[in-house]
Amino acid sequence: MQNKFKMAFIQLTRIGDVIQTFTAARQLKNENPNVELTLIARKKFAQGLDFLLRDVFDNIVYFETKDFFTKKSLKSARIEVHNFVHDLNKYEFDIVMNLSFNKSSSYLASLIKAKHKMGLHRNNRSELAVNDKWSQFIYSNVMASTLNPFNLVDIYKHIAGAKEVDVTTYQVPKDGVITIHPFASSKKKSWGANKWNEVIYKLLKDRLDISIILVGAPNDQEKAKQIIESPMLANFGDRITNNVGENSIEDTFHDLSRSQLFIGHDSMVSHLAALFRMPSLIISLGTVRPHESSPYNDRAYTLSPRNKCFPCTVQERCDLLPCHTSVNHQVVVAAAKNLLDKGEFAWSDLSQHVTPFHVDNVSIYKSSFDEFGIKLTEVTKNNVSHKDVFRTMYRILWSYYLANVEVSIDTPEFNNDTLRILNNHLEGTNYLFELYGHGFNFCNRILDETENENPEIKEIQAGVSKVAEIDGLCNVTKRSFSQLAPLIDFFYVNRANAAGNNIIEITNNNLISFHDSSNIVAILADLIEKTIGPRIGTVNRNGPEV
């Protein structure tokens, strides 16, 4: 009998990430039932999900840092770690996939023996290595840009090798219960109690047929008290069940299983609700990147602010939280009522209940599946921003380049400001095209020299210096044409991780990278031209042809 193909998933980050990893692994298992999957995760983030994870993973290894220090000495901790790694290596994995992209996971991935390594890992000189293109995409785009067009589940899925769109569902519940999770992992990401009071009050007052379950963790109990004990809700106590801090994740999963609608922020519970594909309203604030981390659920709607500072970063201090006021509670209530009645809504449904003023500063996205995976499409009648247009173009480019999937997307409507920015970036694509062309030529020169009977080391070194110069000039281009950063950063990481044991192999791979980058930038230029073409008469066009 043939041995099973063994894959290890390393996921050391938070509960939401573990659920996203579970969703991707489930799809992989559906497509490849004979693969043996092992999850390596932290106890505090994954053990509460054990009831779900066992459906997909054949083996689960939970660990915690403190487990290594039971004897309170470094010597014994090092022995514990050694034994832990030794036990992991007994599985004899074919592939180890690190999906968590932090420092500890990169070292763990380097310690686990496997024929192939995907995601961040280290070589035996402790240098970072990202060998596969999808992981290079995460490293260059997900962690550093706001223009990533892909949901993390789809990225994980493609790293793992799953191809199909995952629409598995546990059940379709419907009985007038709304589960609300009015919390998130940081203040920036969640509304204050007052906004939630308004939403809950309006829903309970206007819809006599519904009841509400509040769910959350023990450290959310104080805020839950502020919501529940508000005088506004004094008459509705019998229709609100407060399960905050009382229930396990499995209990919350059960609460969701008997709910018709989920409302909350971008958090672990929204990812649990996605497993039921239930109608969901997600309010994404602060540091949340909706296109990247919204629940993997084609019945979800995401409301996010249109403030220029959104999304911000964890490091940025913000006391006023302007993005919190941009999303109006009236919009949330109107959208929730539509979802209760029909399970979906369009702008025409919403516009009967809210004024354009209410949606002036908010983007409302509907999630749906396309050929690649989940995508977010704006349903509001606002003109899309230049970032939305670029994100759409990058979805077309990266889907094709990284997954060989052609996605069809309509040309979005945009205003003259966006038109000017697009037109300006055409010039940037021209510079990049030239730079990558030079890079290609320098690589060829190096390879030609190495083929000489007596290669001149000086010539080879000069070529290598020129290739390094190209990277410097690409960085200058990035500063002037910021929306090209995803492309520039990806191919920089791609070349920095070029495989090879000698100058010839590495240069050959750099040559391929420059060839690919030239093609991709030419396609981007073409997309920009086609997008702005019908409207080009309305602005001055300065950009040279590509």
Shortest gap between Cβ of 79 and another protein (angstroms)? 10
Contact (Cβ atoms closer than 8 angstroms) between residue 159 and residue 97: yes
Chain position carrying tokens 């979802």: 339
- End-to-end alpha carbon distance in the chain: 57
Shortest gap between Cβ of 82 and another protein (angstroms)? 6
Contact (Cβ atoms closer than 8 angstroms) between residue 204 and residue 233: yes
Cα–Cα dist 450/473, whole Å: 26
Q: Whose Cβ is closer to another protein: residue 121's or residue 202's?
A: 121
Number of residues that bind another protein (CB under 8 A): 23
Which of 124, 315, 408, 501 lies at the binding interface for another protein (CB under 8 A)?
Answer: 124
Shortest gap between Cβ of 392 and another protein (angstroms)? 35
Q: Whose Cβ is closer to another protein: residue 72's or residue 458's?
A: 72
Q: Whose Cβ is closer to another protein: residue 108's or residue 283's?
A: 108
Q: Whose Cβ is closer to another protein: residue 65's or residue 461's?
A: 65
Which of 125, 308, 458, 479 lies at the binding interface for another protein (CB under 8 A)?
Answer: 125
Site for another protein in 436-475 (CB under 8 A): none
Shortest gap between Cβ of 152 and another protein (angstroms)? 20
Shortest gap between Cβ of 75 and another protein (angstroms)? 8
Shortest gap between Cβ of 130 and another protein (angstroms)? 17
Q: Whose Cβ is closer to another protein: residue 168's or residue 219's?
A: 219
Q: Whose Cβ is closer to another protein: residue 66's or residue 530's?
A: 66
Task: Encode 389-433 in three state secondary structure.
Answer: HHHHHHHHHHHHHHHCCCCCCCCCCECHHHHHHHHHHHHHHHHHH
The one segment of 121-129, 362-370, 439-447, 472-480 that binds another protein by CB under 8 A:
121-129
Site for another protein in 11-40 (CB under 8 A): none
Alpha carbon distances (Å) from 101 to 16, 497, 499: 15, 16, 20
Q: Whose Cβ is closer to another protein: residue 487's or residue 503's?
A: 503
Residue burial 177-214, b: 16+ Cβ < 10 Å; e: rest? bbbbbbbbbeebbbbebebbbbbbbbbbeebeebbbbb
Contact (Cβ atoms closer than 8 angstroms) between residue 26 and residue 160: no
Neighbouring residues of 156: CB distance < 8 A, sequence distance ≥ 6? 20, 21, 23, 24, 25, 99
Shortest gap between Cβ of 203 and another protein (angstroms)? 40
| 3 state DSSP class of 29 | helix
Contact (Cβ atoms closer than 8 angstroms) between residue 484 and residue 432: yes
Cα–Cα dist 215/243, whole Å: 5
Cβ neighbourhood burial of 454 (10 Å; 0-12, 13-18, 19+): exposed
Site for another protein in 60-119 (CB under 8 A): 65, 68-69, 72-74, 77-78, 81-82, 85, 102-104, 106-108, 110-111
Q: Whose Cβ is closer to another protein: residue 104's or residue 169's?
A: 104
Residue numbers of the site for another protein (CB under 8 A)?
65, 68-69, 72-74, 77-78, 81-82, 85, 102-104, 106-108, 110-111, 122, 124-126
